[in-house]
């Protein structure tokens, strides 16, 4: 897939630059990162995937501690929100909504 294909309906290629329809004689040069972003291939995706910044044993060493810390943080924040903020949650109307008494037809 060429990096010009997403723009095929609105521009045309002219000597390494894009000329948009409706803009006469104006050349829009694409930056290198934009060209790379539009020209993502399987090889490029694999390079991004395998060029991680942490060692492979990072998850084995710190994964359990991070998970336990995250769970403790979430439980403590939600515990505070549910018990201390005074928010009325209105979870169920059962027992709170009573039907009006039936009116008898006037005689």
Q: Which two three-digit tokens encode residue 73?
A: 């943080």
The helix or strand, by DSSP H or E, that contains position 9, with its residue range, turns out to be none
Averaged pLDDT for residues 94-102: 78
Q: Does the structure show a pLDDT above 60 at 65?
A: yes
User: For the residues 81-96, what does the mean pLDDT come to?
Assistant: 81
Please report the pLDDT score of residue 15 as a whole number. 47
Q: What is the pTM of this model?
A: 0.37
For residue 73, the model assigns a pLDDT of 98
Q: Report domain extents, the chain.
A: 5-50, 54-82
Question: Please, are residues 29 and 20 in contact by the beta-carbon 8 Å criterion?
Answer: no
Q: Whats the size of the chain, residue-wise? A: 107
Token reading at 66: 């991070």
Closest CA to 28 of 37, 38, 36, 17: 17
């Amino acid at each position: 897939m060429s990096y010009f294909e997403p723009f095929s309906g609105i521009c045309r290629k002219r000597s390494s630059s894009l000329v948009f329809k409706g803009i006469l004689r104006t050349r829009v040069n694409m930056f290198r990162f934009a060209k790379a972003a539009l020209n993502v291939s399987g090889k490029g995706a694999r390079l991004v995937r395998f060029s991680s910044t942490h060692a492979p044993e990072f998850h084995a060493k710190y994964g359990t501690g991070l998970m336990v810390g995250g769970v403790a943080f979430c439980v403590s924040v939600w515990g505070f929100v549910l018990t201390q903020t005074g928010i009325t949650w209105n979870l169920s109307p059962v027992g709170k909504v009573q039907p009006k008494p039936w009116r008898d037809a006037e005689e």
